[in-house]
Amino acid sequence: MSARHGLRIDAVLIQAVIAGALSFAHLHDLAAAAGQDGWKAWAYPVSVDLLLVASWRRLRSEGPSRLAWCWFLIALFASLGANVATAGFLDLADPPAPLRLGIAGWPALAFLGGTLLAHSSGKPEPASPAAVTETKDVGPTRVPDAAPIPSQADEPPATKALSSPPAPSPDTPVPAVLIDHARKVADEYRTRTGSPIDTDTLRSRLGVPPHLADAIAARLS
């Protein structure tokens, strides 16, 4: 089993070497046809392959990013374009002007891509401690301040008759949780205003019926 696995890996490596050598030769031939002779023609395939490897390594190490994908596709297009161009689609004896322009501008483009891949990080920066705000727990519920309640003297007689609360009954059942919350509201009102909370304000803060507000106020007094 291990021998077969090793044979498969060797076959993959041999295939990779052959494919890389062919692509390397195509890039060299294309650069030489565009007027880059001598060592310069051999430097072009090295530049393309290094940019391809650098962008792929960035994708593998830090995850997908626009920067890495952009330069990976640029290097892949340059490699595939050289392979296609040397297959007889272009007259390498008289290459077109856009090809000469692309070959001449490739060093600056590759240098820019390599610099951006090497000196920029795709990981998000941690949030500044000053940007983190602390919140204070004010209890299980928070009741917003109610709007001022108009005086009974400003209401029509019919309204005053309907809004007048009945006399509190000492037998009215009030949950202990509601009394505890009402006590917190009353203490906060006393701390803020310096005076005890009245029944109407307590009723508006708690959102309870008048008779229940009177029963709660009787237990708080």
Q: What CA–CA distance (Å, rounded) separates 153 from 146? A: 20
* Higher-pLDDT residue of 24, 134: 24
Compute the mean pLDDT over every residue in the chain, rounded to the nearest whole number.
Answer: 74
Q: What is the pLDDT of residues 67-83, one digit of tens each?
A: 889 988 998 888 888 88
pTM of the entire predicted model:
0.45
What distances in angstroms separate CA 145 from CA 88, 178, 183, one per listed residue? 81, 18, 16
* Higher-pLDDT residue of 97, 155: 97
CB distance 106 to 52 below 8 Å? no
Q: Give the pLDDT of residue 123.
A: 58
Q: What is the pLDDT of residues 142-188, one digit of tens each?
A: 545 555 555 555 545 444 444 444 454 556 777 777 778 888 888 88
Confidence check: pLDDT of 136 > 50? no
Query: How many angstroms from the chain centroid is the CA of residue 85?
Result: 42
CA-based diameter of the chain, in Å? 108
Q: Give the pLDDT of residue 4.
A: 56
Task: Using a pLDDT cut of 70, give the percent of the chain over it.
Answer: 72
Alpha helices (H) along the chain: 2-33, 39-62, 66-84, 97-119, 157-163, 176-193, 199-206, 210-220
Q: Give phi and psi for 146, each to the nearest 5.
A: -85, 160
Q: Give the pLDDT of residue 105.
A: 86
